[in-house]
Amino acid sequence: MIDRQHIQNIVDGKDRLTAQQALDLYNHASLHDLGRWSSQMCNRIHGDTYRTYIIDRNINYTNVCSARCTFCAFRRDVDDHDAYTLGKDELRDKLTELVNLGGTQALLQGGMHPDLPISFYEQLLVWLKSKFPSIHMHAFSPPEFVEFVAIFDVPGFPKTLPGKSHELPGEVWSAKLDVIIERLQKAGLDSIPGGGGEIFASPVRDRIGRGKASASQWLDVMRSAHRHGMNTSATMMFGHIESIADRVDHMDQVRKAQDQAIENNWPGKYTAFISWPFQRENTPMGRLPNWDRENGKPFPGEDIDHPEYAKVPRMSGATDYLRMQAISRLYLDNIHSIGASWVTMGPHIGQLGLFYGANDMGSVMIEENVVSAAGTTYCLDEALLCRLIRNSGFTPAQRANDYSLLTVHDGENSPDLAVTDWSKHRVEQLHQHGEEAPESLTQLTIGSPDNQ
């Protein structure tokens, strides 16, 4: 059933995993074998000395959004009492704090605000770059660009209503997207994060991502970014109503898109793949397990009638997450980095992710608003993140957006080694916009090195 020699060839970079083999691995391989193979492949690509993290700040500049994703607890309508769009003072404070913490990158994402013009984004980027020239602007996401194409006034191009980008003729859509990417890149955009990937298969995507970019639009935005010399990442959110084959199909579409970027020698590429399980709290889809199909009430937005898709979310636990991450390392042989998702899975499962194909622990979390709205409130500072990496047997290293190493923490002044009493080490409160989060939810302490 599983050809071990063939898997070894994949690990060694001499062959590729097929979609059917990925499914076979998911269904039949032991967790131990998946960890072993994905770790060997990770070591071949990254060596076995360093595991990395980045210090960046996740800034959600607005929570106003014209889409209605059923897995989202973050979005608001323009006239909701707690709708917001950040002003310059708030942005300056956040970026100043980031710089003071040794940060190198701002991850700037909405909401797809239906009213903000292109000049708002251009002026924002120019202003941020002038104030914080050392900060890499990793900003927006394919769904935001799809909305930009719909609503921006760009000379020579038509516009349409929010969520109606697909109604523009294909060649107009592509040409307008290219102009928007060029203008925002010129204003200071450095790279594009892979938000909004979710699951590409349309029977799933049409149900969970209402009013949001289609899979082909998502991939087209990244193609344009790569042609224009910007790197991007790719993401997958699983563990809801998708099938396992949908997960493999999703990874296959990312791998093919990267093959295309490599074959065409485009100056930008996918540099990373990050996957995580759906977080259910406060989301319409999260209430689905209580949904009684027989009582006549529809699934939020629409009934599910396709026999191949689950009637309740297929919630993913820790081992399902680790299986998928390991398979993503084996399948995505053309993507440099696999990121562990401790933000959703918790620090210790994130740490275990380093033995299931991940080479990177993502970001020190100064601020997070989206998954915390869905009930996930993990928070780590640099010392804790370094400790998780070191206690896994690796040397922690702070990296840049392009995965080059900035600071290797092998000396006694390393953030974790400088901590003298772990029982007292606590991280700052996780920021939640507009309210102080209760301490019990947001202060996470790792009391003793023994429990790492």
* Region binding ligand SF4 by CB under 6 A among candidate stretches 68-76, 83-91, 177-185, 347-355: 68-76
Q: Does 59 bind ligand SF4 (CB under 6 A)?
A: no
Among residues 58 and 104, whose Cβ is nearest to ligand SF4? Answer: 58
What's the distance, CA 44 to chain centroid? 24
Q: Does 390 bind ligand SF4 (CB under 6 A)?
A: no
Q: Does 113 bind ligand SF4 (CB under 6 A)?
A: no
Closest CB 432 distance from ligand SF4, rounded Å: 15
Among residues 285 and 446, whose Cβ is nearest to ligand SF4? Answer: 285
Closest CB 121 distance from ligand SF4, rounded Å: 16
Q: Does 215 bind ligand SF4 (CB under 6 A)?
A: no
Query: Site for ligand SF4 (CB under 6 A): which residue of 67, 135, 236, 340?
Result: 67
Count of residues that interact with ligand SF4, criterion CB under 6 A: 11
Q: Does 112 bind ligand SF4 (CB under 6 A)?
A: yes
Please check whether residue 367 is in contact with residue 266, taking contact to mean a CB–CB distance below 8 angstroms.
no
Show Cβ contacts of residue 296 under 8 Å, excluding neighbours closer than 6 positions: none
Q: Does 116 bind ligand SF4 (CB under 6 A)?
A: no
E strand segments, 11-123: 50-60, 68-69, 105-109
Q: Does 72 bind ligand SF4 (CB under 6 A)?
A: yes
Query: Site for ligand SF4 (CB under 6 A): which residue of 212, 226, 329, 387?
Result: 212
Q: Characterize the bridge pairing of strands 136-139 and 105-109.
A: parallel
Show Cβ contacts of residue 118 under 8 Å, excluding neighbours closer than 6 positions: 148, 152, 153, 154, 180, 183, 184
Q: Is 363 left (phi over 0), alpha (psi -120 to 50) or beta?
A: beta
Q: 264: number of CA atoms within 13 Å, CB side?
A: 16
Closest CB 78 distance from ligand SF4, rounded Å: 13
Q: Does 111 bind ligand SF4 (CB under 6 A)?
A: yes
Among residues 162 and 203, whose Cβ is nearest to ligand SF4? Answer: 162
Amino acid at 290: N
Q: 417: number of CA atoms within 13 Å, CB side?
A: 10
Q: Is 292 left (phi over 0), alpha (psi -120 to 50) or beta?
A: beta
Q: Does 65 bind ligand SF4 (CB under 6 A)?
A: yes
Q: Does 143 bind ligand SF4 (CB under 6 A)?
A: yes
DSSP H or E segment with residue 372 = helix 370-373
The residues that touch ligand SF4, with contacts defined as CB under 6 A, are 65, 67-69, 72, 74-75, 111-112, 143, 212
